[in-house]
Amino acid sequence: MNVPNENEQSFNYSKLKARTVELELTSRDVAAAIQMTASTYSIKLNGKGEFSQSEIRKICEVLKIEAADIPLYFFTKKV
């Protein structure tokens, strides 16, 4: 698991969290669906780790996120 250092900006996952709520799922539901522990998913969702490409793909399947929208959900920088 990659942990961002102080000089790196974290990503803002608020849109991802909102999509989870919109579909009436919990973070635990998403974690289970992508075969990740809830604690690992939480760590990544809170910017203390990074999602791999395969994890992003699986999350998009679960949350019905189009490929064109991936940057909005996963690569918006925190300000």
Query: What integer pLDDT is reported at residue 73 of this predicted model?
Result: 97
pLDDT in tens, 4-40: 454 455 899 999 999 999 999 999 999 999 999 999 9
Phi first, then psi: give them for residue 4, nearest 5 degrees: -60, 140
Domains and CATH numbers, the chain: 14-74 (1.10.260.40)
**Which long-range contacts does 38-41 make (Cβ < 8 Å, 24+ apart)?**
40/1
Query: What integer pLDDT is reported at residue 10 of this predicted model?
Result: 87
pTM of the model: 0.86
